[in-house]
Each structure stands twice: as structure tokens, then as C-alpha cells.
Structure 1
Amino acid sequence: MKFSRFYRSAAIASVAALALAACSSDDAADENAGGDSGDQASAEVSGNLIGGGASSQEAAMTAWAAGVTEVHPDLTVNYDPVGSGSGREGFIAGQYTFAGSDSAMDAEEQEQACGSGSPFHVPSYISPVAVAFNLEGVDSLNMKPDTIAKVFAGEITSWDDAEIAEQNEGVELPATGITVVHRSDDSGTTENFTDYLNGAAGDAWTWEAADAWPEELTGESAQQTSGVVSLTTDTDGAITYADASQIGGLSTVAVGVGEDYVEYSAEAAASAVETAEEDPESEGARILDRSTEEEGVYPIVMISYHIFCDTYDNEEMVNQVKAFGNYVISEDGQIAAEDSAGSAPISETIREEATQRLDAITVAG
């Protein structure tokens, strides 16, 4: 079985919904698995926590920033959706207290981060990556992994190509040219998508998984998730890859898995994550089987992480990070993300592992 590295704007959840979720009793909040621990709930948590990174998290982050103030009114969270690569760079440089990233830190980045401490990853946001397109008169299509790869590699250049037609009997396909739209900035979404192609498409895709789109491949490009979605929406015949929560009215591809075709959904994404293993080289990150043939599994999935340090300079920062991190992975926090962005909830196992890591954060000695 072939395994590869697994790293994952919708409407914002209403303040009323967040308030309702936060209005449980103090006892219930203390007992909530993966939520604020009793010690953290009683600690003084205040100030401004600053993070930056993956634009895929933008809708969920808005909900989390609002929701955590219902639990800790004196804590403000600001998040800059600059993209995964820039988020990790800002975290390493000390610009951000935490990073949002759709891909895990590599060994070199981990060595540079957190001073005398060490970084770790908290899976916070699980989302399918949609293969989304704009083709007049066509609402959905089936494509096998190698067909998707050939489209994005520029080998299939027209929507009425025989290979696409064979997988979509009865669909009237126009002779419109295909315009591939990819991210111009370093992106964890790109890494997840190219990781899928590398793992599932065989010889049809010869490039390694990477944050940057292969330079030798032609196509149109735009920055951040909103940019590629906007460009695809404005271009007849265009196709792109993006966090499914932010594709708007674009049509989507049902992906070949075994003998079936699977449409993206939160449930199908969660099924993929259930079989993911922990990455021994990046604490808290996961490894996914991209070439799965399991029924009902959607394999183009990303886990978007929050990356924290295991030590911070002072108690105020420690309390801020623990409060926010524990809220995000709590049941309330995951519901807020699902309501705002359609993400899949993390599993109880992931929640328990993340809680242990967050609760172990200390002041640097």
C-alpha cells in the first residue's frame, strides 16, 4: 500500500449560534473532552494572540476567534490568511505566536522554530479539496485519478476529450478548451493536491508533492484560495483545486476510488482521516493513504494544522495559546468550524492527543 505525506469563503457562523454553543454550564465546559481544562478555565487569560497562515482556514478562524471570546472575554485572536508558507515563515521569525498551515513543517523549518523549544502540530481543520470547474451546462463530472493528472499536466486540453467522455456517458461535453488555474503562492492546498496526484495517478503525474506548483506546467495562476476560485469563476472552461468550503457555485469532479466515483463531503473526508497514521518526523502531523480504494472515502483531503511551540517566553502567552488551542479542538470549536466552513470534525483520538500536547506547554526556562 502506497502512503504519502498528509498535511486539508464560506458563510461565517452567526454570533447567535456561537453564543448558544458557549452558553453551556461551567461544569459542562470543564468536562468537555478536549475543551478548556479546569485549570485553564480558571486561569487569567487576556491579551492579543496573533497567528497567520493558511487561507483555507479563514472562515473557520473567524468563527473560532468569535467563539473563544465567549469562553475567555478578555482574549482577542487575530489571524492573517497569508497562505501556509508565509504563515510558517512568520511563525519561525516570531511574527506570529502560532501558524495555520495545510502542510506540516519540514525538518529544516522545525529546527529554526521556537528557539530552545520545539514546534508541534495540532490537526484543527479537516476539509476535502475540491476539483472545481466552470463549464457552461455541466454541473458535475466523473474523473479517475490519472485523468485528473493529465488535465492538470496539460496533456488533456479540451473538455470533449475522449478520455473524459468515456467516464461520463450521457453528458454532452463542449469542445471548450481547458484552462488550468493553480496557486501562485506557496500553498499547503497545492501540496495536498500534488501529494494526491503523486500518490494516486501513477505515471500520469511525475512531480513530487510541493507547496509550489511545478514551474514547467503552463496555466493561469492566482494568490490564495479566493484568488483561484475567483479566476475560475470568471473563466469559461477553467478548472482548479481549492478548499471545498470556498468554491462558491463552481461545479465539481467526483473522484475515482476503486470501481466507484466519490463526490466530496465532510463525511467522506472524515473517512479518509480515520485511517491516517501519525507522522514520526513531524509531531502531531498525519500520514494518509492517497491511493485508497475504500468505499465512500474521498482521498483529496487536507488537514490544516495549528502549529505551536512547546515553550513560550511568559505565562501570558502560554495561557493564550492553551485557551485558544483547546477551544479550537473542543466539540464546540469543531461545531463552529463545521457551521461556518463545512469542515469535518476531528476524531476523539486526535482530540485527546492534541489536548495532551497543549496542556504540556510551559514557560521557557
Structure 2
Amino acid sequence: MTRRCLGALGAVGAASVAVLAACGRDAGTPASGGSSDLEGGIRGAGATSQSTAQEAWMNGFMDANLQAFVDYAGGGSGAGRTKLAAGAVDFAGSDVAVDDDEAAGLGGVVELPLYVSPIALVYNLPGLDATDHVSMTGEVLARVLAGTITSWKDPALVALNEGTDLPDLDITVVHRSDDSGTTRTLTDYLSATAPQAWPYGSSETWPLEGQSGDGTSGVVQTVSAAPGTIGYADASKVPGSLGTVAVGEPGDFVACSSEAAAVTLSSSQLVEGDGGARLAYSLDYDAPGAYPVVLVSYLLARQDYEDADTAAVVRAYLSYAVSAQGQDLAALRAGCVPVPQALRSRAASAIAMISP
């Protein structure tokens, strides 16, 4: 976890740290004595943004349920949703909420926004400390990423960063080469905030040509290797050697942090669908003190399973992920934002709809 996310999260509590140290059946440590009547195995796939959190949830869950097994393969949001629809996996992770047609194709779906993390706009600028935070409004950020601002010395950037010695370098935008929920999150923000500067709409596929990287690690690696670059990545995956953009308006630029992302989440609307089985956030980009570029990633499950043991393990696993213990553990391991108690209560009601 990056230092910036650690500082924002603050002290989660000694009890959670003890849980982190104890859990992990695959870590070579003895089980902590957890036991239950739960038996069976389930498989998941989907958003790679959740991978570290899923690892924390799986290890903690299996440590407490010694006869149960959970596996999560990643592979991307679209692949996860496709595999869930085909019956190839029992649950999925998706950085994009399902639409009504997808939900109907699954015969009913439980959808829970359980992984929340800021998306950092990362840059490599020689001479600037990583804590300096180059500031951009939503419109200027859109113009940079769209390629209409091409120099770090552009007057629009200089005016927003008085006192910062921006280098005289061309801007190279680095985007994801794969279809990505992270790309969708960023383009959602750009199209909502600056539609004239960003006329390309919202998409999981980056709409422009240029330098790219495969997955989060590819973008981070490319930006790290080339001065003048700017890219985007889940904040928990950003090394301390790279700078991050502070986003907002003059007088209210907000640096990327889990704390500021939590402000966005708390001011946003939670929308229910299908009688409370589907929970999705409609993000508020304008809350004071909020970092607006926030990834909300979902855990998806069927409402109905042919096998009773599978249904029971899916219910129990999702319940663990949404619990205070599961959320604190994921925050420690992945740097994500623990979801609020109000969501945890509504998620419990949605999970109760899962049945054989």
C-alpha cells in the first residue's frame, strides 16, 4: 500500500491488524482455530482491481471456514460477467455495474459495491517531488488527456500551478491497452465534468491512439520509465516515486487519497434495483473536499443456484467481504476505502436473497 493511502486511512485498529497477521491459509501459518459447518468450494473471476482485496477476503474467510474453499482468477470485468452468465464461475468482480439486460440474462443478480478506491492521475516530471501534486481542473485534465494541451508549460497548466516550476517537456498520455473498468471510471468523470473538452463519452476502451500499457502494471511501468508522461491507475498500485494530480477547482484542489475518495462516496447516492438486490452508486463529483475520480467495483452473484452448498458458500463469502472485519482487512491489504455501515446493512439484505 502506498504511503499516501496509509496516511489517509489512518489507524484501522489493532484488532484488524491482528486479524491480518493471523489469516491466510496459503501463507504457511496455522489456522486460527476457525471452524463452521460450511462446506464446498466456489470460483470467481473478473476485475483485476479487486485482486488484492479478494486475496485478503479469501484468506480471512477460509481461515474461519476450514471446510470451504474460494478461488478468484481475475481476467477483467467483462470476462468475469461473461463467465458468470455462462455458469463458468459462481461469482464475479466488475468495475462496471450490470445493466438491466445483463441482470435478466442471469435470471436475477445480487450486485454489491464492495471495493472502492481512488483512481490516481500519475505523472513523471523530473525536478518535482512526488508530494507536490500538479493541480488540474476537470476541464484542463480533459484537455491534457484528449491531447489538446501538449506541453507541461502550457499557460493553462502554469496558471493553475503558480509557484511550481513545471518542466519544459511535451506531454505523453499513457492509457490502458485492454478494456478496463478503470478507463470507464475515468472517462465517466471526464464526460460528465468536461463534455466539450472530452467529446468521446464514457467507455471501457480508450478512444484515442497513443502510448499504452497492458493493465494497471503496464501503465505504471510505462509512466515510470518515461519523463513527461501522464497516465491513470488504481491509487493502491502507484509507487511513491510518481507524482499524482490534485483535481478540483482553484481554491479546492484535492489530492488523491482514500480519505478524500471516502468523502465522494459519502456524498453520493446509493441506488437500489430489483427490489434491493442490486446496489449501485451514482457518484457526486462536486462535493467539497472530495477527490472525484473514484472507482466503485462490484461483487456479483446469482440469486439462484442449483446446488445448496454453493449457494451457502457464496452467501457466507459475500457476507464476510461486506463485514467490518472484511472491509478493514481489505483496506489494510489493498488501500481501498471501507464502505459505510449504511451500505453494509443494505448489502446484508441483498445477500439474503441468494438461495438454491
Say whether the fold is shared (TM-score over 0.5).
yes
Q: TM-score, normalised by structure 2?
A: 0.86
Contact residue 44 and residue 319 of structure 1 kept, 8 A:
no
Instruction: Compute the RMSD of aligned alpha carbons.
Output: 2.2
The code of the aligned residue for 1:271 comes to V
Give the secondary-structure state (helix, strand or coil) at the position aligned to 1:239. Answer: strand
1:44-83 residue CA offsets vs partner (Å, 9 max, x unmatched): 3223221111111111111111111122122222112212
Alignment of 1:1-365 (within 5 A): 17-18=19-20, 44-113=37-106, 117-138=107-128, 139=130, 140-214=133-207, 217-249=208-240, 250-257=242-249, 259-279=251-271, 283-290=278-285, 292=286, 294-363=287-356
Aligned residue number for residue 38 of structure 1: none
Larger relative contact order, structure 1 or 2 (CA cutoff 8 Å, min sep 6)? 1
Give the secondary-structure state (helix, strand or coil) at the position aligned to 2:279. Answer: coil
1:101-133 residue CA offsets vs partner (Å, 9 max, x unmatched): 1110123322322xxx30121111111111111
Contact residue 135 and residue 161 of structure 2 kept, 8 A:
yes
Aligned residue number for residue 6 of structure 2: none
Give the secondary-structure state (helix, strand or coil) at the position aligned to 1:81. Answer: strand
Structure 2: how far apart are the matches of 1:21 and 1:97?
A: 23
Structure 2: how far apart are the matches of 1:336 and 1:96?
A: 24
Give the unaligned 5+ runs of structure 1: 1-8, 23-40
Contact residue 51 and residue 80 of structure 1 kept, 8 A:
yes
Report the alpha carbon displacement of residue 42 of structure 1 after superposing the two structures with TM. 8.7
Q: TM-score, normalised by structure 1?
A: 0.84
Contact residue 46 and residue 93 of structure 2 kept, 8 A:
yes
Give the secondary-structure state (helix, strand or coil) at the position aligned to 2:54. Answer: helix
Taking a change above 3 Å as real, the CA distance of residues 42 and 75 of structure 1, as seen in their structure-2 partners, is: closer
Structure 2: how far apart are the matches of 1:15 and 1:90?
A: 34
Give the secondary-structure state (helix, strand or coil) at the position aligned to 2:317. Answer: helix
The code of the aligned residue for 2:279 comes to G
The code of the aligned residue for 1:223 comes to D
The sequence identity of aligned pairs, in percent, is 40
Contact residue 36 and residue 65 of structure 2 kept, 8 A:
no
Give the unaligned 5+ runs of structure 2: 4-15, 25-33
